[in-house]
Structure 1
Amino acid sequence: MKLSVLDQSVITKGQDAKAAFNETIRLAQFTEQLGYTRFWVAEHHNTNGMAGSAPQVLISHLASVTNRIRIGSGGVLLPQYSPYKIAEDFNVLQTLFPGRIDLGIGRSPGGSYDTRLALTDGLKKSMNEFPRQVKRLQGFLLGKQGVTAYPIVGAPAEPWILGITHRGARVAAENGTAFTYGHFIDPSNGKRALDDYYSQFQPSAFLKAPVSNVCIFVICAPTQEEAELLARSQDIWLLEVERGIDTRIPTKEEAENRKLSSRELEKVKENRKRAIIGTPEKVKEELSLLSEVYGTDEFMVITNIADFEDKVRSYELLAEAILGRVMD
């Protein structure tokens, strides 16, 4: 089984964006040493708690301070942009860091209606154009659209489509791209999405056979009790994000002292289906079971908890359990 990372550069209350980016950099370097396959950064807009609004910029810096791990986007919000410009951006990245760049793209609107209009400079773009934009982007990456996306690269960045439904999986399959399923967003559609992706995959200039991974929240600690305690800040963070209150992670102290209503406790229970929380042995067992259900050999791990050192230890314990890697 392979392990990768999705990092949202989330700001813990009391921190600022600079601190969040510094932690993203440290995590990329650390997980590279642990043997993780790829490290992706997300794109969010008009939100106070997720600093990564420009993944192409962050990718360039992360690739420059690492050596082997693949660096990519999880993902660029293609409906808001020009496929040509995205192709140019990632051709630059692939030229600077050949063979290490993943181009993850998603159909997400990127925020509120006003945020979308700000991203497109007032142009009302239809989300239904996504399949067409994917084809255009692939054409520009391959130099087959008449207008050339310079610089020309020997092999373009590897395209991935990110999705949480069977419809997204079918777009990936029909265009012969790799596919990431967002279990951390909605675990209910995963098996159907992956089954459709594998059964309908069409070979392309990018891939001859299907390639997938599944993104999931994971919190790993030496004991179940400690893992549950660490998960408290992520539980409350998800509640506040979903209610549009705050996208910053609450501190450990705030999480421990927060009293949850019966309705909030039910929502936390529901959200836990999006995560695996526990000891290394438990996490390994549950990931192995999900690997069989989804038919994938790679999990992309997202861990949004208050304390960075606890986060680092979670990734380290996971790598030790799955990859047999221990830091010196």
Structure 2
Amino acid sequence: MTALSILDLIMIGEEKSLVHSLDEALQFARRAEAAGYSRYWVAEHHNMPGIGSAATTIIMSHLATGTSSIRIGSGGIMLPNHAPLIVAEQFATLETLYPGRIDLGVGRAPGSDRETVLAIRGQHPAPREFSDDVTAVMNYLEDNRRQPARGIPGIHDTPVWILGSGLYGAKLAAELGLPFAFASHFAPRYLMQAITAYREHFRPSPQLAAPYVMVGVCVFAAESRQEAEYVASSHRQWVANLHAGRPGLLPKPVEGYMEQLSASQRIGLDQELACSVTGTRDIVRRWLQDFAEGTSADELMIDSRIYDPEARCRSYEIAAEAFL
């Protein structure tokens, strides 16, 4: 059976603050746990207006403390921004505090613009190979003494996931025998090529005996199609504003948003949000079932940036009720 999980960028809405976003995320994680979601992923972004997920591991601890069974993961830690030893120490600590509930998703994108990257890494960062960083983190977590320094002593059972939006991540995940998550919720172009390459080249590892694919989707569900379109407008506005060079807070929803756009704007949104469904329970059920069958995904990760916290919770609950 295909599992469901959630990606949260800790969006900060108009007329709200980070305090609101963190409080809402905890309420949301509790509702997701009750609804049967397997995992709750927290992103890493820096210097992006409207996104509050800069301190990823701190937010993960906040959510894990307030829940009891749902797994909490990083979706993901951008390894070029961090020393592998520090990442391993933080996740070993999380795994110790919340045993059996922590996942480490890693990516190689900077998660921000060049100036912010320099501010994070320093003015003259030494270039590092992403695959080497992944291996180093795994070595530290396994406490196998293959690194010159030692992380927190002991073997830490923290699954490592490779996140990607192209073929590089797919092939690396296959080579290392790790689960692979594809970012089709915003970059769907190479979805089928990537998961095919991953499955074809997968090598079993101590962590994973067979390929495991998670793919990103956007779901905007409500009791009526009109209401679903309304709540989806916040996500769509934010994406359109970002493309226009106007990143900002998550906008309030508006009626008839898509009808207000030019043809080129609608095409751009449709391309980025191709792996999305908006509608009632029955529409969402059919779409999710078809998408899961078409990709043979082991897990679907939902990213839906909905302004109203109750409408957001209900959208995810409807998706779980319909699909699970």
Normalising by the smaller structure, the TM-score range is over 0.9
Name stretches of at least 5 consecutive residues in structure 2 with no aligned partner. none
Alpha-carbon shift at residue 254 of structure 1 (Å): 8.6
CA deviations 1:237-267 (Å, max 9, x no partner) are 1111223312311112598599433332332
Query: 1:10: which partner in 2?
Result: 11
Alpha-carbon shift at residue 280 of structure 1 (Å): 1.6
Name stretches of at least 5 consecutive residues in structure 1 with no aligned partner. 324-328
What TM-score do the two structures reach when normalised by structure 2?
Answer: 0.94
Match for 2:204: what amino acid?
P
Alpha-carbon shift at residue 277 of structure 1 (Å): 1.2
> Is the 8 Å Cα contact of residues 194 and 295 (structure 1) preserved in structure 2?
no
CA deviations 1:23-51 (Å, max 9, x no partner) are 11111111001110000111110112001
**SS state at 1:318 partner:** helix
Cα 1:123/1:258, change in 2 over 3 Å = farther
Query: 1:214: which partner in 2?
Result: 215
Query: 2:141: which partner in 1?
Result: 141
Query: 1:292: which partner in 2?
Result: 293
Cα 1:247/1:161, change in 2 over 3 Å = farther
**SS state at 2:6 partner:** strand
**Mapping for residues 28-39 of structure 1, pairs under 5 Å:** 28-39=29-40
Query: 2:79: which partner in 1?
Result: 78
**SS state at 1:219 partner:** strand
Distance 1:179 1:257 in 2: 33
Query: 1:179: which partner in 2?
Result: 180
Alpha-carbon shift at residue 152 of structure 1 (Å): 2.1
**SS state at 1:134 partner:** helix
**SS state at 1:180 partner:** strand
> Is the 8 Å Cα contact of residues 79 and 125 (structure 1) preserved in structure 2?
no
What TM-score do the two structures reach when normalised by structure 1?
Answer: 0.93
**Mapping for residues 1-328 of structure 1, pairs under 5 Å:** 1-126=2-127, 129-144=129-144, 145-146=146-147, 147-153=149-155, 155-253=156-254, 259-323=260-324
Cα 1:164/1:90, change in 2 over 3 Å = same
Query: 1:326: which partner in 2?
Result: none
Alpha-carbon shift at residue 177 of structure 1 (Å): 1.0
> Is the 8 Å Cα contact of residues 233 and 254 (structure 2) preserved in structure 1?
no
Alpha-carbon shift at residue 80 of structure 1 (Å): 1.5
CA deviations 1:93-122 (Å, max 9, x no partner) are 011111110001011112111111111122
Alpha-carbon shift at residue 148 of structure 1 (Å): 1.6
Cα 1:295/1:21, change in 2 over 3 Å = same
Cα 1:84/1:2, change in 2 over 3 Å = same
Alpha-carbon shift at residue 293 of structure 1 (Å): 2.3
Match for 1:130: what amino acid?
F
**SS state at 1:74 partner:** strand
> Is the 8 Å Cα contact of residues 187 and 274 (structure 1) preserved in structure 2?
yes
**SS state at 2:104 partner:** strand
